[in-house]
Amino acid sequence: MKPLVKNTISILSAGLLALGSAIYPNFVSAVEVSNSILEKNNKTASPLDNNLETKVTLSFPGSEDVLAQDIVFVLDKSGASDQKGIDSQARQFLDDIKQQADEKGLNIKIGIVNFYYAGKVRQELTDVVKNYNDIQNKLKSSVLGFGTNMHAGLLAAKKMLDDDTAVAAKNKHIILISDGATYLYSKNNDFTTAYTRSFNPTKQKDPNVYNDRRDLQGGIWEYQSRDYNLKIDWKKFNGTDVNFIFSYAMGGSWPWDPNKPENKDKPKPSIKYLGEYLDYYRQQEQDTSKNWAQYDYAYTFFSRRKGGGKNGVVPIENNAPANIDIAFMKADDVFQEMVNAGYQMNVYYKNKADFNGSLFLKYLARNSNDGKLNKDFQQLKKEVLEKVAKGSTVVDYIGKDFDFVNDVGKISLKVGTAMLQAEEIKDRALAGSDAHYGFGKNNDNTYRFELIYKKVDADAANKETLTLKINETVYPRIPVVLEYQEKLVKKPTAPGIYKLDTNEKATLYPVDANDNKGTPVDFPQPQVTYKVEGGNFDNPDPSPFPFTPDPEVNRKARIELLDEVPDTAACK
């Protein structure tokens, strides 16, 4: 018989299709949208038809890859009052989050950490819908304990977020609620143990030289044993005539009333001066010749009343860091580590009692919120509940072997089960071969979604692109499904089975309702098969390309046929 060579499309006969489904199980899969929650961004391609066209389907947003979020409450057990009802606002926020997560298929986990002398994990990260009652009860209940160690609380919260590697950093949130009065600290990331240090004038070499001989027992007022027993004019804050002492750094007292008109041009308390103060004592703490850390001792129910550790008390000197200085530094270190990791930091002040720590809380937020405290939960609620909102986009790069079928009749978009018909939009900014489509026309003649096609996109290395503009918030329970068609234009000719990428890449770029950019999430990369038959049927071992169901054999053969060999997986 004569050799027989012909091209056939990979819509195979029933027997071969059954074989193909075993080898390439995802080639013909298509997303099925129902009332169930879409877990991940998805992208599929149908088999090539007789016109060498494939239908590409994108579905988003996925509850796991796009919208998975962690929220950890870090709660100060101290505080004599609930300033502006922050605690009750937090509980209402939790209630709103649970309700919306349930209705819209959001994937939100909640954790709770309390801190007193140690950090205590009250609730590991858990689904807000499934375990709402437990979370709410633990948020309401108080913790018995002594001391205040914000450093320990932040360490515990950071570990909780760090350990959840499935959630993007930008989708991890800290809610710190505190009065800012922290004076204990931990070591070696052990948030279960607290440390302090004491000046205790009664144990100094010559106690009689000190007017204030109170033993403050390593507590929150310990710094007074230094500042009250030494001259306070030993150093000034830069550019001011303000004495360099802790109380002025905190803004709790000031040499003049900054609110009086006659003082409007004089320096005012600010995080600038607190930062200068902490930077100075950070340098002193690093002085190895002094080794101030040798005076640290574990702070327990019994040791806290001893007023000093086994190495004695801290010498009363201007350069000696007090326990509260170290507590502030260490809490700030962990806080800034989370900022640098990309976590979303939210700081709320509660309790204006005998110690006003609000300036320290503002100092913590200097790099995350421009030194401002959160006032309520409305902005955070938008960030959490409307993660893929107006301004989000999907950018899709058409595969090098394909062309986009620029036909309005072959483009569709669904939101949940509602079909939105495509309408052409006249766009003078586009070239003749480009196109602009709208879906879901609003009363003001804008569209809920827009699709912009560019045959040669100058902003994308002159590649062929589709950009879907999202003009409303979208959710996993009612996902967006975009369908369009591509045509194979660069057909392989040598005998073999080819797997061709329908698209080079597709990425969702989320923007939340506060106009903050989220972490981009890539879609899977589907492929279609194309078969070029060939060989001598008189020869039981056809050559040059043996058709075989073994993907590895096909891959090796294709190396001889193609300059660029696609990945053998159905989806990269």
Query: Any idea what the CATH number is for the domain that residue 50 is in?
Result: 2.60.40.740
Distances (CA, A) of 394 to 77, 107, 315, 435, 464: 45, 21, 63, 16, 14
| Last-in-domain residue among 293, 322, 351 | 322
- Number of neighbours of residue 398 by Cβ within 10 angstroms: 24
C-alpha distances in Å from residue 90, one per residue of 33, 60, 149, 299, 317: 35, 30, 21, 31, 43
For residues 471 and 334, membership in a common domain is answered with no
**Contact predicate 509/520, CB 8 Å:** yes
Cα–Cα distances (Å) from 38 to 96, 384, 474, 520, in that order, read 21, 18, 12, 17
Helices (H), 56-113: 86-104
Q: Report the DSSP beta bridge partners of residue 424.
A: 437
CA 311/CA 432 separation, integer angstroms: 82
CB of 519 within 8 A of CB of 171?
yes
Phi, psi dihedrals of residue 112, rounded to the nearest 5°:
-135, 130
Kindly provide the b/e burial profile for residues 428-458, where b requires at least 16 CB atoms within 10 angstroms of the residue's own CB: eeeeeebbbbbbbeeeeeebbbbbbbbbebe
Residue 349 counted as domain residue: yes
Q: How many CB atoms lie within 10 A of CB 39?
A: 14
Q: Is residue 566 part of a domain?
A: no
Q: 298, 322, 346 — which closes off a domain?
A: 322
Given a contact cutoff of 8 angstroms between Cβ atoms, the answer to whether 90 and 378 are in contact is: no
Task: Specify the residue for token string 């004592």.
Answer: 281
Looking at the chain, how many residues does it have? 572
Tell me, yes or no, whether 413 and 521 share the same domain.
Answer: yes
Asked, for residue 368, whether it belongs to a domain, the answer is: yes
In this structure, the answer to whether residues 395 and 536 fall within a common structural domain is yes
For every residue of 44-63, DSSP letters joined together read EEPPP-TTSEEEEEEEE--T
What order of strands is seen across the sheet that includes strand 190-196? 185-187, 190-196, 297-298
Q: Cβ distance 196 to 218 under 8 Å?
A: yes
Q: What gap in Å lies between CA 396 and CA 504, rounded to an integer?
A: 8
Query: Same structural domain for residues 397 and 539?
Result: yes
Classify 438 as helix, strand or coil. Answer: strand
Question: How many independent structural domains does the chain possess?
Answer: 3
Do 400 and 486 contact (CB within 8 A), yes or no? no
Cβ neighbours of 160 (radius 10 Å): 22
Residue 392 covered by a domain: yes
Pair 421, 464 in one domain: yes
* Domain endpoint, select from 322, 345, 369: 322
Amino acid identity at 393? T
Is 88 in the same domain as 236? no
Half-sphere exposure of 530 (CA within 13 A, CB side): 26
On whether residue 506 sits in a domain, the answer given is yes
Q: Is residue 571 in some structural domain?
A: no
Separation of alpha carbons 37 and 57, rounded Å:
17
Q: Are residues 538 and 485 in the same domain?
A: yes
Place of tokens 């939101």: 415
Domain co-membership, 96 together with 203: no
DSSP codes, 528-547: EEEEEE---TTSSS-SS---
Read off the pTM.
0.80
Write down the pLDDT at residue 140: 81
Task: Please tell me the predicted confidence (pLDDT) of residue 307.
Answer: 63
> Do residue 438 and residue 519 come from a single domain?
yes
Q: Give the model's pLDDT for residue 541.
A: 39
Q: Round to whole Å and give the CA distance between 339 and 148.
A: 22
Q: What would the two tokens of residue 229 be?
A: 């027993």
Element (H, E) at 404: strand 402-404
The total of other beta-carbon atoms located within 10 Å of residue 262's CB is 8
DSSP 478: B
- CB neighbour burial string for 512-524, b if at least 16 within 10 angstroms, e if fewer: bbeebebeebebb
Statement to judge: residues 427 and 404 lie in one domain: yes
- 517 and 551 together in one domain: yes
3-state secondary structure labels for all residues of 276-299? HHHHHHHHHHCCCCCCHHHHCEEC
One domain, residues 18 and 88: no
Within-domain flag for 570: no
3 state SS of 552: helix
> Is 230 among the domain residues?
yes
Say if residues 20 and 500 touch (Cβ distance below 8 Å): no
The domain containing residue 243 runs over which residues?
197-322
User: What are phi and psi for residue 167, nearest 5 degrees?
Assistant: -105, 135
Q: Could you report the average pLDDT of every consecutive run of 10 residues in the chain (572 residues)?
A: 38 34 32 61 96 97 87 80 72 94 94 95 96 92 84 99 95 95 97 96 94 94 97 96 95 86 91 98 98 95 71 93 99 99 95 80 97 93 94 97 96 96 88 92 96 91 95 94 97 94 96 92 96 61 39 38 37 38
Q: Is 451 in contact with 439 (CB distance < 8 Å)?
A: yes
Element (H, E) at 137: helix 132-140
> Are 498 and 428 in contact, with CB atoms under 8 Å apart?
no
What is the domain-level CATH number for residue 115?
Answer: 3.40.50.410
